[in-house]
Amino acid sequence: MRKIKNLPYKLAITGIILIVVALMRYFEITCFLLELTGIPCPGCGMTRALIAAVQFRFQEAFSWHAMFWSVPLLYLCFLLDGGLFKKAWCNWVFYALIFAGFLINWLMKLLSSTFF
């Protein structure tokens, strides 16, 4: 088992992000890009998707953002200093697949114009 470096620092960053998300939800602030340009960002719907997933409503989570399942994996990568795998090329392939998934999800939502 790998030791997590700088754990207090990483937990502090996590706490700050959770506080910002909670404040955004409380004040009903949606995506900044969407507010400024009218164009949703590739992550639009992710907060609602994660909330639905935590409540075991996976079909709803998938409809909000199909890549909701990648957030715990990306958080694990953050905790493990950027890599789930020992070989660097495996990590690069993993990140490329996640990026492609976000891009495909975003383009499909834009083309179907069913963001909200």
- pTM as predicted: 0.81
Question: DSSP letters of 29-83?
Answer: ---HHHHHHS---TTTTHHHHHHHHHTT-HHHHHHH-TTTTHHHHHHHHHHTTT-
Please tell me the predicted confidence (pLDDT) of residue 114.
55
Helix (H) or strand (E) holding 85: none
Q: Cβ distance 77 to 83 under 8 Å?
A: yes
CA dist 88 and 52 (Å) reads 33
- Three-state DSSP at 112 gives helix
Mean pLDDT over residues 24-52, rounded? Answer: 86
Q: What is the tens place of the pLDDT at every residue in 52-102?
A: 999 999 999 999 999 999 999 999 999 998 888 989 999 999 999 999 999
CA dist 25 and 103 (Å) reads 25
